[in-house]
Structure formats: structure tokens, C-alpha cells
Amino acid sequence: MTQTQGATMPDKKFFALWKVLLPVAIGLGVVVAMFMHDARKEDLEHVLASINGSSRAIGCIILAFACMFGRDFGLSWRFRALTDYQLSWGKAFKVDFLCEFTSCITPSAVGGSSFGMVFLNSQGIEFGRATTLMITTLFLDELFFVISCPLIVLFTGDIIFASGDVTFSHGIKLTFWLVYSAIAVWTFILFMGIIVRPNWIRDLLVRVCSLKWLRRWQSQAQELGDNMVATSRELRTKPFGFWLEVFGGTALSWLSRYLVVNVIFWGFLPQDDPYQWVILAREFVIWVVLMASPTPGGAGLSEWIFSEYYGDLVPIAGMALVMAVIWRIVSYYLYLVIGACIVPGWLRSTVQRLKAYKDKGQDTQAAENKSVSNEKQQQ
């Protein structure tokens, strides 16, 4: 298979400007509404005065960006390891940024891996293998949550779900376990599909989607099953060291992302916070819940959950909202800006590459037709 065969590239409409502005508008709209509803003018003035010119706050913002670099480093390291270091660091970071940008403009339930194989293919990875690698990254991410979340809840206790609002606490606890259960089931399917019995899972998916009300997805189920079988063939040959490395990159990326909130708390609260472990533990809950978000990149929902969930740990009214905005700037809006900068160039280069491949194919076909015609004339 050629590098471009089978690839379905997202067009310019997929990266339209309104898709970038929509999550920004949703997120800022929710923040403004919450400020108007929950925070008094004197509270906001007190919050801004307490952080204005604070060297500690500025230093922690810089440290928060450093944590996000750790997240990008972990994922880029994983991409390099998965491709047997065929990708350079530059190409691995580009794929990472493109995937994160896609996550920012699509619902969280969809995720940035939807076009990950296209991004890998554009960097020189054969499309079939790129699909295999993206299924592997999906499995690694889900496996991280399945293993870590029960341990975090076990070592933290009920305070992990507690907040100032009892109704909110019960709601987020229920949502967390429902979404976690779905993740666990999906991870088990992926494990069976790419490690143990890929043919069984493929046949099961096709059989289920043969039902009348699911028939419209039968071709996608067949394609997913075939990709699982291909993934299984490659992964079964990998040594233990490979799995240790790629899972290490996965853990580094998620933990670095979570530590952003710890750094923000440390920098913006007026005193040292004794609940750093609780702050970190609650990040696991937040990200599991956000996996079910219907809004692009969890816009709006993220800011609301942050201010409600961490509100009992913030002694100053309005401070939780300010911290939520900073958290989203560092971990979300930054990637919208980066993506908006690199996507146009990526689209141009990819379109030119596909056009060159198409022209080459047409020239080859024309040469073959001419050769056949000459042979017939000679006969």
C-alpha cells in the first residue's frame, strides 16, 4: 500500500475558523455568566489585587507551561517509539499538536485520534500502519485510566468526590463511575481485539452491526475489525521493553497535564495548600467526566466543573473562576492558537503531496497505455 492510499484527509471545512472560535465563545460565555452570577465586584477586585504583580503567580504560570511541554514531550516520545523512531522529534511534535488541535475543535467523546492516522501518514508513515499505531495509542490511553483511577480513588478516599455542593458531589461521583465503566468495557474490547482474539472481536462487531438498526455502521465495524487484526499482528512481535517505553510516555503525558492544576493552586492561593494530593486526584475524575462532554474540547463544561469541584479548596470567592480561566489558557486555548498556526501550512503541503502523487499515477497509467498500444501495433 502506498503512503497515501486509503487516506481520507480532512478538508478546509473541517478546520473552518468558526470551529476554532466556537469553543472559545462557549468557554468564555460560561465564565462570564458564572462571574456575573457568583462573584461580587469587590470579590473580583480582591482576587485581582492579590495576584497582581505576584512573582510567585508569574513563576507558576511559567511552570504550568513547562508541565504542558512535559505532556507534549511524553506523547511525542510515544509517537517516536511506536514508529520505531522513524519519526523525527519535529515530526512527532507536529503530529501531537495536530491531534491536540483536533481534540480542541471536536467533542471530547470523539477525541483527537479521529484523524491521527492521516496526520501520521502526512509525515511519511504508511497509512495502514498509521491506523495500527493510532489504535495502539487509544488502547494505551484507556489502559492508563483503567489502571490508575481505582488506585487514585482507593488512596484518596471520599474526599476525592467532595465539594461545597452535596448534589454536585453525588452527580460527579455517579458520572465518573458510569464513564469509567464504559472506558473499562471499551479497553477490554480493545485488549481482546488487538492482543488476544482479534478475529473474534471483528466477527462480533460485524455481526452486531448487521442488525437492522445498526446496519448503517456495518462497513465501519468491518474496517475497525480489520484494523484490529492488523494491529494484533504487529504488536504481538513487540518485546516487553517496547510496552514499558510507550506506556511510560503515556503516563508522563497525562501526569504532566494534571500537574498544571497543582502548579496553579500553588501559585495563586495566598498560603501553601495542604491538599496537593487531593488536587491531583481530582484531576483524574475531571478528565474521565470530560470524556463524555458533548461540547468541542469540553468548552464551558470544563470551566464550570473546575470552579465547582475545586471551590471547597479555594478560600477566596471568585478565585476558583480566575484559576479555571488560567488552567484553560495553558492547557486548551494555547493549542487552539498553535493549531491555527500550523494547520494552514500542513493542509497546503498535504494537498500538494496528494496532487503530486495523483499526477504521478496518471503519468504512469498513460505510459502503460502507450506501451500497450505500441505492442498491439507491432502485433
Task: Indicate whether 5 pLDDT > 50.
Answer: no
Whole-structure pTM over 0.85, yes or no? no
d(CA 210, CA 206): 6
Average pLDDT, the chain: 80
Q: Is residue 330 part of a domain?
A: yes
Question: Which one is predicted more confidently, 218 or 251?
Answer: 251
Task: Kindly state the cell numbers that stand for 261.
Answer: 492544576
Q: What residues contact 136, with CB distance under 8 A and at least 6 apart? A: 82, 194, 231, 235, 246
Query: 29 lies in which domain range?
Result: 17-46+55-361
Which one has a higher pLDDT value, 99 or 378? Answer: 99
User: Quick check: is 12 in a domain?
Assistant: no
- Of 181 and 202, the one with more pLDDT: 181
* pLDDT tens digit sequence for 245-256: 999 999 999 999
Dihedral sign, Cα of residue 120, residue 125, residue 131, residue 132: negative
Residue 289 falls inside a structural domain: yes
SS3 32: helix
Which of the four pLDDT bands, split at 50, 70 and 90, describes residue 73?
very high
3-state secondary structure at position 99: helix
What is the band of 232 on the pLDDT scale with cuts at 50, 70, 90?
Answer: confident
CA 78 to chain CA centroid, nearest Å: 14
What is the per-residue pLDDT for 7? 47
Question: Which of 9-18, 152-161, 273-282, 343-352 has the highest average model confidence (pLDDT)?
Answer: 152-161
Phi-psi map region of 192: left, alpha, beta (phi>0 left; psi -120 to 50 alpha): alpha
> Mean per-residue pLDDT for 24-53?
62
Three-class DSSP category at 161 = coil
Per-residue pLDDT, 294: 81
Question: 228, 198, 293, 252: which is closest to 81 by C-alpha?
Answer: 252
Does residue 8 fall inside a structural domain? Answer: no
User: Greater confidence, 344 or 67?
Assistant: 67
Separation CA 31–CA 357 (nearest Å): 47
- Rounded to a whole number of angstroms, the distance between the first and last alpha carbons of the chain is 34
Residue 133 resides in a domain: yes
CA–CA distance, 224 with 209 (Å, rounded to integer): 12
Q: Is 283 exposed, middle or buried (0-12, 13-18, 19+ CB in 10 A)?
A: buried
Q: Name the nearest CA neighbour of 147 among 110, 183, 108.
A: 183
CA contacts within 13 A on the Cβ side of 202: 18
Structure-model confidence comparison of residues 320 and 92, the more confident one: 92
pLDDT at 53: 57
What CA–CA distance (Å, rounded) separates 82 from 109? 24
340 confidence band (pLDDT: 50, 70, 90):
confident
- pLDDT above 60: residue 368: no
Tell me which of 84 and 345 has the higher pLDDT.
Answer: 84
164 vs 1: which has the higher pLDDT: 164
Residue 366 forms part of a structural domain: no
The residue that leads in pLDDT, 139 or 33, is 139
1 inside domain: no
For residue 20, the model assigns a pLDDT of 63
Residue whose C-alpha is closest to residue 175's, from 32, 288, 38: 288
**What is the total count of domains within the chain?**
1
Tell me: the pLDDT tens digits for 287-326?
A: 999 888 888 778 888 888 888 898 888 877 678 888 888 8
The answer for residues whose C-beta is within 8 angstroms of residue 215's C-beta and 6 or more apart is 209
The neighbouring-strand residues paired with 321 are: none
371 within a domain of the structure (yes/no): no
**pLDDT, position 268:** 80
Q: How confident is the model at residue 379 (pLDDT cuts 50, 70, 90)?
A: low
* Percent of the chain topping pLDDT 70: 76
CB 3 within 8 A of CB 126: yes
